[in-house]
Amino acid sequence: MTLVPYFALGTAFGFILVEAEVVSWFRIQEMFRFDAFHMYGIIGSAVVTAGLALLVIKRLALRAPDGRAIGFPPKTLGNGVRYVAGGSLFGLGWAMTGACPGPLVALVGAGVPVMAVAVLSALAGTWTYGSLRSKLPH
Amino acid sequence: MHPLPWYIAGPLIGLVVPALLLLGNKPFGISSNFGHVCSLLSPRRFSFRDSGQTGTWNLVFLLGIFVGAVAAWRFAPPLTLRLSPATVDALHRLGLTDLSGLAPREVFAWSALFTLKGFASVVVGGFLVGFGTAYAGGCTSGHAIAGLADLQLPSLLAVCGFFAGGLAATYFVLPLILR
C-alpha cells in the first residue's frame, strides 16, 4: 500500500519522459551536438525547480512521515576519481545507447523492445563494477 | 503536443525530487536500481548502498516509469520528431537514413543486434551505462538533477564526466560504429 505513491509518481515521470521526447536517441544527439536547447531547458529547469523546492523544505524544516529531517545525505568526495572516471564511462554509454537508465527502461515499452538487451547489459555492467570495486580508485 | 515543451516537462521532472523526499525521504536516483537488483541476485557478493529492503520503493518507481512509457506510447506516441536541421544533416552524414521513431531503426532492431553498430550501441553502450553509473554513484537523475539541485560538488564532477564521455562518443565513437 505504501508503495502505491511511488508507482504513481514513476508512471507520471515515465509518461513525461516519452511526451517530452527525453527518451529519444535523436534528442540526445541534438544535445551532445549543441544543436537544440530542448534537453538543456529540461535539465536546467528541473535542477532549478528541484533546488528551489529543497530550499523551501530546508527553510520550513520539514520532516518525513517517519519524523526524520528531510534531505540528502552528503556525498563523499574522496579524491574525486570515481565521479570523473565513472561519469565519463556513463557519458560514453549515454551517447551510444542514446538513453540514461530511466529512458533505457522506458524505451523497452515505447517501441524499442531491443533495449531490454541494453538493460540486461547495464545490469552486467553494474555487476562487473561490484566485482572490481576494491581494485578501482575512488 | 510534441514535444511537450521544456518549460513544462523540466519543472514537472524537477518536482519529482521533493515529492520523493516528502513521501518517505527517498533520494531521486534511477541507476541505484541496477545495484539493488545485483544485490538481490547475489546478496553475499554485492553490498551496494541501497541494498536490502530499502530499494523496493525505487524498483516500484522504475516499474511505474515503464508503465507510464507504455501508456504514452500507446495513446500519444511521438512518431516523427522535429529535429534541428544541423542534427539531421550530421546523422545523414553518419549514414542513417530513417530518422523516425525514438531511436534509429537501422541500429536499434533485433535484426541489427549482431552487427557492429547494433552490438556496440545496445550491448557495449548498455554495459557502460551500468558500469559507469555504479562507479560514479549516480546517473542523470541522481547527479545531474538531484545532486546539482542540492549543490553537491561530487555531482558537478560527475556531470562534467557525463559530458566528456558523451562528447567523445558523439564525435569519435559513433562515426566509427555507424559508418
* pLDDT single digits (tens) A67-118: 778 888 888 888 899 999 999 999 999 999 999 999 999 999 999 999 999 9
Residue-level pLDDT at B53: 47
Among A residues 17-36, those touching chain B with beta carbons less than 8 Å apart? 17-33, 35-36
Q: Is the pLDDT of residue A52 over 80?
A: yes
Q: Cα separations (Å) of A98 from A93, A120, B104, B126, B134?
A: 8, 16, 10, 10, 18
Q: Between B39 and B113, name the one with better pLDDT.
A: B113
Which pLDDT score is estimated for B52? 44
Task: Using pLDDT thresholds of 50, 70 and 90, give the confidence band for residue B51.
Answer: very low
* B49 — pLDDT class (breaks 50, 70, 90): low
Whether A126 shows a pLDDT value over 60: the answer reads: yes
Q: What is the mean pLDDT of residues A54-70?
A: 85
Residue B124's pLDDT is what? 98
- Spatial separation of the C-alpha atoms in residues B73 and B61, rounded to whole Å: 18
How far is the C-alpha of A126 from the C-alpha of A106, rounded, in Å? 19
Q: What average pLDDT does chain B have? A: 93
- The confidence band for A66, taking pLDDT boundaries of 50, 70 and 90, is confident
- Helix-then-strand count for chain A, H and E: 6, 0
What number is the average pLDDT over the span B126-136? 97
Contact of A8 with chain B, judged by CB distance below 8 Å, is answered with yes
Of B65, B126, B158, the CB nearest to A13: B65
Of B38, B70, B133, the CB nearest to A101: B133
Question: How far is the alpha carbon of B77 from chain A, nearest alpha carbon, in Å?
Answer: 7
Q: Which residues of B touch A127 (CB under 8 A)?
A: 38, 46, 130
Identify whether A103 is preceded by a cis peptide bond (ω within 30 of 0).
no
d(CA A79, CA A91): 20
How confident is the prediction for chain A on average, in pLDDT?
94
Best mutation target, A3, A15, A34, to test chain B (most B CBs within 10 A): A15
Checking if the pLDDT of A41 tops 70, the result is yes
Q: Which pLDDT belongs to residue B98?
A: 94
User: DSSP code of A72?
Assistant: P
Subunit contact B102:A126, Cβ cutoff 8 A: no
Residue A8 pLDDT > 80: yes
Chain A residue numbers with beta carbons less than 8 Å from the beta carbon of B35 are 126, 130
Beta bridge partners of B109: none
A102 in contact with chain B, both atoms CB, cutoff 8 A? yes
By mean pLDDT, which of A28-32, B54-58, B86-90 is the weakest? B54-58
For residue B37, pLDDT over 90 is answered with yes
Say yes or no to pLDDT of B178 above 70: yes
pLDDT of amino acid B78: 93
B54 pLDDT band, cuts 50/70/90, is low
Among B36, B46, B49, B162, which would you mutate to test the A interface (most chain A Cβ atoms within 10 Å of its Cβ)?
B162
Indicate if the pLDDT at residue B1 is higher than 80.
Answer: no
Q: B154 has which bridge partners?
A: none
Inter-chain residue contact B165 with A90, CB threshold 8 Å: yes
Q: Give the cell for residue B114.
A: 549482431
- pTM equals 0.95
Flag if A26 and B145 touch (Cβ within 8 Å).
Answer: no
Residue linked to cell 544543436 = A35
